[in-house]
């Protein structure tokens, strides 16, 4: 995902802001990392460039 995407994302549960943590970046594409919701205390993973904003209690 591009950094600019962060502005239009929110926590799927509380709709609050997310903080971006980057583990791997290629150009302007964040490939691995996470999106942290401080209010919920939950990290949503970014894998292969795709943020996973499913409630993290739903494991598949």
Chain residues in the site for other proteins (CB under 8 A): 1-2, 4-5, 8-12, 15, 44, 48-54, 60
What is the smallest separation between the CB atom of 40 and other proteins, expressed in angstroms?
A: 12
**Least distance to other proteins, CB of residue 14, Å:** 11
Count of alpha carbons within 13 Å of 51, Cβ hemisphere only? 24
Structure tokens at 25: 């970046």
- Bridge partners of residue 26, in order along the sequence: 29
Residue among 9 and 43 whose Cβ is closer to other proteins: 9
Q: ∠ CA(32), CA(35), CA(37), 5° rounding?
A: 160
Nearer to other proteins, 27 or 48 (CB): 48
């Amino acid at each position: 995902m591009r950094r600019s995407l962060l502005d239009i994302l929110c926590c799927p549960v509380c709709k609050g802001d997310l903080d971006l943590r980057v583990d791997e970046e290629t150009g302007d594409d964040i490939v691995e990392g996470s999106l942290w919701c401080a209010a919920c205390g939950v990290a949503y993973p970014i894998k292969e460039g795709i943020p996973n904003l499913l409630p993290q209690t739903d494991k598949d």
